[in-house]
Amino acid sequence: MNDTPQVLLAHQLKTLKLPTFLREYDKLARQCAAEGADHVRYLVRLTELELIDRERRMIERRIRQAKFPAVKSLDSFDFKAIPSLNKMLVLELARSEYVDRHENIIALGNSGTGKTHIAL
């Protein structure tokens, strides 16, 4: 077999479905070498990058699969349009800590006040 180690590694990382490893391993290896980080720290950083990227892709995939009419975020919500809305409470709820506490959230308000936008 005359394949270089880089070609073999690329093939194996593709087979293992580790795209972030494939994209980042060389750059991160150089960075860790420059910092004097050992191989365990290198692997920890590389696996962290892979996990972060997987979570990002999973969220993007779920949003696509949900087929929302438009992707909304709190960044695009105009809190000034509804002065009675407690912005700090909405941002706190956005952290979803109520899920861990097994609590429910009920949004009440007239039609067109942004309940769906905030829920999405």
pLDDT in tens, 38-93: 999 999 999 999 999 999 999 899 988 988 777 777 888 888 888 888 889 888 98
Three-state DSSP class for residue 11? helix
Residue reference for tokens 């949900």: 66
Q: Which two tokens stand for residue 117?
A: 């936008």
Residue type for position 118: I
Dist. CA 35–CA 26, nearest whole Å: 14
Please state whether the predicted TM-score (pTM) of the whole model is above 0.75: no
Asked if residues 51 and 24 have their Cβ atoms less than 8 Å apart, the reply is no
Dist. CA 44–CA 102, nearest whole Å: 32
Higher pLDDT, 54 or 108: 54
Rounded to a whole number of angstroms, the CA Rg of the chain reads: 22
pLDDT at 75: 82
- Length reported for the chain: 120
